[in-house]
Amino acid sequence: MASARELQDRIKSIKDTMKITSAMYMISSSKLQRAKKALSDTEPYFYNLQATMARVLSHMPEVEHLYFDNRIEDERETVKKKGYIVITADKGLAGAYNMNVIKLVNEKLEEPGEHHLFMVGEIGRHYFMKRKDVDMALEFQWTAQHPTMNRARMIAETIIDLYKHEQLDEVYVVYTQVVNSMKMAAVIDQVLPLSTVKFTQLSIKENKKDGEELTLVPSATAVINSIVPNYITGFLYGALVEAFASEQNARMLAMQTATSSAQGMLHELSIAYNRVRQAAITQEITEVIGGAKALKKKKKKLTGREAVVSNG
C-alpha cells in the first residue's frame, strides 16, 4: 500500500489535472457557441444561392456546364483524378474526432482512381505525410482554427482552378458533422461536379411559382459561372465551421469524461488515504498504550524492589 505522502502527491496531481480539463471544457464551449453563431449568420445568403441555381437548372435542364455532372464525358479518360479536402484538428485531446476522419479517408484511398489530398489541420497532415502512396499537396497548408470566409474562398479558388485545368475530375470534402450534443459523424460530400438532379429536386420542392419566367443575362452559362464559385465557397465555409464546431464538441465531451474519471480517482484515493491515516493513527495509539503499559510495569517493579529493600 502506498504511503500517505505518496497518496497526497497523487491527489494533488489529479486536482491540478482537473483544473486543466475544466478550463479546456469552458474554452471549447465558448468556441463552439461562436462557431454556431458564425454559421447561422452566413447560412441565409448561401441558401439563396443554392435556390437560385436550382431555379436556373429547372428552367434550363438541357444546359451542359463544366461545374455540373451533365457535361460531356471524356471517353478516353479511364482513371478518375479525385481530390479530397480533408479537415482534421490542429491538436489532439478530442477523443476519436481525428481518427474517424482519417479512417474514412483511408477507406476512400482504397477505391480505384488517382487520389490527391488537400489537408486542413495538422493532425491529418502529419498522419498522411507518412504514406508514400498518396499525393499530398504540401503547399496547401491551412489551419483548422478560426475558420473564415476568406480562407474558404482561397481554398475554393485553388480547387476550382485545378478542376478547370482537368488536374482533378472530382472533388470531395471530408469533415465531421454534429449529429447531436453527444454524437459526431465523419462524412464525405462531393463538391465538384455538382449534381444536376439534386438541384432539380430542390427546385421542385421549394419553387412554388408555377409557370414563372426567368431571364438570364447575359446567358445561363455566365450566370452559372458567377454563382457556382460563391456557392462552393459557402459550402466549404460551412464544412470548415461544422468541423470546427464538431472538434470543440468532441473536446468538450473528452474533457468532461476526463474530469469525471479524475473525480472517481479522487474518491478512491481519498478512501485509501483515510485508511492509511486511520492505520497510522491506530498504530500511534497502540504504541502510546504499549509505552504506557511498559512504564506502568516498570514502575511496579521499581516499587516492589523498594518494598523488599525496606523490609530487609
Q: Which residues contact 195 (CB under 8 A, 6 or more apart)?
A: 68, 69
List the chain pLDDT tens, one digit each, 312 residues: 567 788 788 888 888 888 888 888 888 888 888 887 877 777 787 777 777 777 777 766 666 677 877 655 555 556 788 999 999 998 888 888 899 999 999 999 988 888 899 999 999 988 988 877 788 887 788 888 888 889 999 999 999 999 988 888 889 999 998 887 778 889 999 888 887 777 666 555 555 555 566 666 677 677 778 888 888 998 899 889 888 988 888 888 888 888 888 888 888 888 887 887 888 788 878 878 877 777 777 777 666 665 555 555
- Rounded Cα distance, 203 and 50, in Å: 9
Q: CA separation (Å) from 69 to 100, 120, 173, 196, 225? A: 29, 26, 17, 6, 15
Distance CA 107, CA 215 (A): 45
**What contacts 106, CB < 8 A, 6 or more positions away?**
none
- List the chain domain ranges: 4-15+261-311, 26-256
C-alpha cell at 305: 524492589
CATH class, range 26-256: alpha beta
Q: What is the pLDDT of residue 107?
A: 92
Which pLDDT belongs to residue 62?
Answer: 65
Burial of 105 from C-beta contacts in 10 A (0-12 / 13-18 / 19+): buried
Q: How far is CA 193 from the centre of its chain?
A: 27
